[in-house]
Amino acid sequence: MKKIIDLSLIIIVICFSFEINAQNNVGIGTTTPDANSILELSSTNKGILIPRLTTVQRTAMSSSLSATQKGLLVFDTTLGQFWFWDGTQWVVVGSGSGNAWDLLGNAGITNPASPAIYGTSTIGVSENWLGTTDANDFVIGTNNIERMRVKQTNGNIGFGTAAPGYPLHGLGSNTICVAVISNSNAAGIGLTGQNIAASGTGSGNGVFGATVQSNGFGVYGANLNTNGTGILGIGNNVTTYTLVSGGSGGAFFAALTGVYGYAANNTGYGVYGKAVNAASAYGVVGIANNVTGAGPTSGAGGAFSAYNYGLSGVQTNNLAGVQTAAGYFVADPTAPSTTLVEAWSAGGTHYKIWQNPLGAVSSSIPDFDGNPVTLHAIETPEFYFQDYGQGKLVNGKAHIDIDPILAKNIIINEKHPLRVFIQLEDNENCKGVIVKNKTANSFDVVELNGATSNTPFQWFITCNVADAMIGKRLSKFADLRFEPGPVNVDVPLRNDSFKSNEDVKKK
């Protein structure tokens, strides 16, 4: 009778403790369990205790479990973790062994296969990866602030920007925006940029750098080795190159043009070289024909060496009324001194060498001790050609023909007479001579007073040079006499403010 009473009490307690609905669901702490749950627990100051087992106890259960118990949950008191049975093994809740990415790393990852079309093909359902499955960007952040974004539209990756316009786009407000620091081996490459599209006539770039700052650099390359080269540029698919001993700021190689400089500003410089060593440095060194370079030991603004032509200058302005020159040289930019080479005056005369102010045209010969001594050329207010020769009076007369090549290039008329000078020789009985019948082609020498001696003589002629076509331009030579000299071109001292590594901070 006692057992019957005890059983009745238990049934009464259960009825008061649980709310059993007709829907076959149970509520504990609630009289209205959710219709979609088989069991609902509700409390404001209590929790639920899942069965607590040690690791030994949990693993001992494995032999009696199968796929039938898939989803069985326990708390491992040894490890302080919730574990569930996945049908074949125990798996820690939130571990890398499931679909979650673990803070301590994941094992057993299935590598995604290479997509058939990158950026278009989807990832296989059995492959492991990190990202989004819908049309939303993938964002990584720190301190609850976005640091990186992968755009879902095109896969562009942005650092410091939520709208990356390039496959890898970095935007920063500090001194360094995006820095790539590589600790490669001695023969390795720190950073590589390639355009791997099919070879053709496209405009793709391997590496592109740009800045809008006046003191910035589109591309900055530095080699911190004392004998290193800052930038190496190779064009025309050249596979071999050589570097200058001791290194350089930049070395450029190509089959056609090693270095090309272009300035669009009318006061700019296509290529500008400056050496700041005051003793023996060179601003620009140019070497051609695989010869050995040469220059003065005291330094120079430019030193050029080649097998055929060490230095070449070309001017292309053919407009009349403008002073031009293929070469312009100034010995002292603080004084008005100019020497033009291969020049045209504004008045239309061509000069091979033209100087302002006065300067000697000189050469040198060795003295008895081998020391050079200077010789000077004669210069005149007009432009002359001269020639020498010898002849002989025969019965008091001689006819001299002027060299036809000389005759072709001189002008002889009333304004520009032929100037002939005669020096008699070996016959003191000669009565003297006069010059008659002067033309551009010849002249006659006649003995005075009808004498008929046979006397040798030397002759010397001076002639004005005729105007001549130089290319497609007529150069005015015939009437030159104290014509205006060359105009000194304003060449201000270029004194750029160079930045050292103290000015351009490298982080």
Let me know whether 466 and 411 are in one domain.
Answer: yes
User: Which residue in this structure is represented by tokens 């700019």?
Assistant: 268
pLDDT confidence of residue 290: 66
Let me know whether 460 and 398 are in one domain.
Answer: yes
- CA 459 to the chain's CA centroid: 64
pLDDT at position 405 over 90: yes
Quick one: pLDDT band at residue 238, thresholds 50, 70, 90? confident
Q: Of 354, 376, 398, which one is at a domain's C-terminal end?
A: 376
Q: Flag whether 65 is in a domain.
A: yes
pLDDT at position 278 over 80: no
pLDDT confidence of residue 498: 45
pLDDT confidence of residue 507: 40
pLDDT at position 384 over 60: yes
Which range marks the domain in which residue 442 is found? Answer: 384-475
Portion of the chain with pLDDT greater than 90, in percent:
36
Q: Flag whether 85 is in a domain.
A: yes
Let me know whether 401 and 464 are in one domain.
Answer: yes
Q: Flag whether 277 is in a domain.
A: no
Mean pLDDT of 229-256: 78
The 433-436 sheet, strands edge to edge: 397-401, 442-447, 433-436
- Which of residues 417 and 277 earns the better pLDDT score? 417
pLDDT digits (tens, 9 = 90+) for 117-137: 888 888 877 777 888 888 999
When divided into structural domains, the chain yields a total of 5
Quick one: pLDDT band at residue 103, thresholds 50, 70, 90? confident
Mean pLDDT of 476-483: 96
pLDDT confidence of residue 85: 93
Quick one: pLDDT band at residue 95, thresholds 50, 70, 90? low
Query: Residues 469, 455: contact at Cβ < 8 Å?
Result: no
Mean pLDDT of 72-89: 92
- Which of residues 79 and 349 earns the better pLDDT score? 349
Q: Whose CA is closest to 353, among 361, 362, 342, 363?
A: 342
SS (H, E, C) 419-461: EEEEEECCCCCCCCEEEECCCCCEEEEEEHHHCCCCCEEEEEE
pLDDT at position 454 over 60: yes
Apex CA 97: angle with CA 93 and CA 98, to 5°? 60
pLDDT at position 398 over 50: yes
Quick one: pLDDT band at residue 182, thresholds 50, 70, 90? low
Let me know whether 442 and 418 are in one domain.
Answer: yes
Query: Residues 445, 431: contact at Cβ < 8 Å?
Result: no
pLDDT digits (tens, 9 = 90+) for 135-155: 999 999 999 999 999 999 999
pLDDT confidence of residue 2: 47
Let me know whether 77 and 66 are in one domain.
Answer: yes
pLDDT at position 86 over 80: yes
pLDDT confidence of residue 184: 56
User: Would strands 52-53 and 73-76 be described as parallel, antiparallel, or unpaired?
Assistant: parallel
- CA 274 to the chain's CA centroid: 17
pLDDT digits (tens, 9 = 90+) for 298-343: 666 677 777 787 777 888 888 889 998 888 887 776 776 788 888 8
Q: Of 39, 70, 95, which one is at a domain's C-terminal end?
A: 95
Let me know whether 11 and 33 are in one domain.
Answer: yes
Q: Flag whether 318 is in a domain.
A: no
Between the alpha carbon of residue 457 and those of residues 356, 393, 419, 427, the distances in Å are 40, 8, 16, 10
pLDDT digits (tens, 9 = 90+) for 167-181: 888 887 666 555 566
Q: Flag whether 421 is in a domain.
A: yes
CATH code of the domain covering residue 471 = 2.60.40
Let me know whether 390 and 432 are in one domain.
Answer: yes
pLDDT digits (tens, 9 = 90+) for 21-80: 556 788 788 888 888 888 888 888 988 899 999 999 999 999 999 999 998 999 999 988
Most confident of 26-30, 282-286, 444-448: 444-448
pTM: 0.54
Let me know whether 388 and 471 are in one domain.
Answer: yes
pLDDT confidence of residue 300: 67
Q: Flag whether 229 is in a domain.
A: no
pLDDT confidence of residue 189: 67
Q: Of 13, 31, 48, which one is at a domain's C-terminal end?
A: 48
CB-based contacts of 57, cutoff 8 Å, min separation 6: none
Let me know whether 406 and 343 are in one domain.
Answer: no
Alpha-carbon distance 169 to 155, whole Å? 11
Quick one: pLDDT band at residue 289, thresholds 50, 70, 90? low
Q: Flag whether 488 is in a domain.
A: no
- At residue 263, the 3 state secondary structure works out as coil
pLDDT confidence of residue 174: 63
pLDDT confidence of residue 496: 52
Q: Flag whether 32 is in a domain.
A: yes
Query: Residues 343, 354: contact at Cβ < 8 Å?
Result: yes
